[in-house]
Amino acid sequence: MAGGGLVAGHVALGDDTVHVEDLALQAFTAPVTETASPPVATLPVAPAPSDGATRALADPPPPLDVDAITRAATTAVDEAEQVRQDAERESPPESGSGDASGGPGSCAAGTEGFGAVATGTATAGERLRCMFGVDTVYGVAGRANASDHPKGKALDFMADRATGEKLADYARQNMDELGISYVIYRQRIDTGSGWEMQEDRGGVTANHMDHVHISFD
């Protein structure tokens, strides 16, 4: 007999001994209950990278040229500063920069005080007077020493220190355009090669401390 029959036989005969072969036979012949397998999760599949993306990942980025970037930035700053300086030189000063007496600057005077100066002297002189608001300008006048004034080719712009410095600097930077041969201010002369000190002539006006002298070609 198979399965449970064998065990029952032993019990019926009063045999309490458990036979190993009977237990093994029962285990071998017992029906197997199938259990359902757990569902397997399906993972999303990432799209394959394109050729361009593959090349971008494979090729390392080019190294940065720090020196070139620094030079470009420095050049841009220098150019901006040069533009600012050029604009300051070409723009007229603020209104109210008047002459040494403190009067308001004005172009209404035109060529008043110039006398019979040369045409080019009158044109350039009026332009400078208007730009820098100089009320008092002297032109033709007698001089004991050698001077361009009697020839009508020189003007004296009576100005305070701040206005005089700006006027003299502008005249020096535009000598060719204005037809200027030299500029004298505060015991210095510039004939086109930069300021040079002059000898002491013994007085404020004689040393050009209170006015800018400009001689024209």
Q: pLDDT truncated to tens, each residue of the chain (217 aa)? A: 444 444 444 444 445 555 556 655 565 555 555 555 555 556 666 566 566 656 656 666 667 676 776 666 666 666 666 665 565 555 544 434 444 333 344 577 888 889 999 999 999 999 999 999 999 999 987 665 668 898 899 999 999 999 999 999 999 999 999 999 999 999 999 999 999 999 998 999 999 999 999 999 9
Whole-structure pTM value: 0.52
Burial class (CB in 10 A: 0-12, 13-18, 19+), 181: middle
Rounded to whole angstroms, the Cα distance separating 12 from 123 reads 149
